[in-house]
């Protein structure tokens, strides 16, 4: 396996229906509440939920650090079941792919997140980042 084929894979169970999780992944007002580090401000520029539609948002860090922008293109959309999009930070040439697979289970939804196309030096940061994001998503869905 080459270094650009390394993967971050995380599983979570959320105590809500798959449609509710899917909404949090795709509706700008909900997306902005869980994406980004705790205390940051997220401004969604575009969540054009269609195959080939764009995903674009800005994150302002709570400590006054620089704003950064992330963007991608939706590749697969199956409401309540699967969402796949590319993922890239503005100004970088590396584009990876993020997939969210949702499955109804007793008591809620199993979410399997898979982030592929990462270099070896990106694995740790992306794993920690996604775990933090999913903690924030869990808190949002529990509210």
How far apart CA 61 and CA 36 sit, in angstroms, is 8
What pLDDT, on the 0 to 100 scale, is given for residue 101?
98
Domain hosting residue 123, numbered range? 3-142
CATH number for position 21: 3.30.530.20
What pLDDT, on the 0 to 100 scale, is given for residue 1?
40
Q: How many domains does the chain fold into?
A: 1
What pLDDT, on the 0 to 100 scale, is given for residue 24?
98
- Per-position pLDDT tens, the chain of length 143: 444 468 999 999 999 999 999 999 999 999 999 999 888 999 999 999 999 999 999 999 887 778 899 999 999 999 999 999 999 998 887 899 999 999 999 999 999 999 999 989 889 999 999 999 999 999 999 98
Show Cβ contacts of residue 88 under 8 Å, excluding neighbours closer than 6 positions. Answer: 70, 71, 72, 94, 95, 96
**Global pTM exceeds 0.85:** yes
What pLDDT, on the 0 to 100 scale, is given for residue 5?
63
Q: What does each C-alpha distance from 82 to 11, 18, 23, 71, 127 come to in angstroms?
A: 14, 10, 12, 19, 20
Q: Are 13 and 20 within 8 A, CB to CB?
A: no
């Amino acid at each position: 396996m080459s270094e650009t084929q390394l993967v971050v894979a995380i599983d979570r169970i959320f105590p809500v229906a798959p449609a509710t999780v899917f909404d949090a992944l795709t509706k700008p007002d909900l997306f902005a509440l869980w994406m980004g580090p705790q205390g940051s401000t997220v401004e969604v520029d575009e969540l054009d939920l269609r195959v080939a539609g764009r995903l674009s948002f800005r994150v302002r860090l709570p400590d006054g650090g620089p704003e950064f922008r992330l963007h991608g293109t939706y590749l697969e959309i199956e409401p309540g079941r699967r969402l796949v999009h590319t993922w890239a930070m503005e100004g970088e040439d590396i584009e990876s792919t993020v997939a969210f697979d949702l499955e109804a289970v007793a008591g809620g939804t199993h979410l399997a997140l898979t982030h592929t196309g990462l270099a070896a030096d990106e694995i740790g940061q992306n794993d920690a980042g996604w775990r933090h994001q999913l903690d924030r998503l869990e808190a949002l869905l529990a509210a």
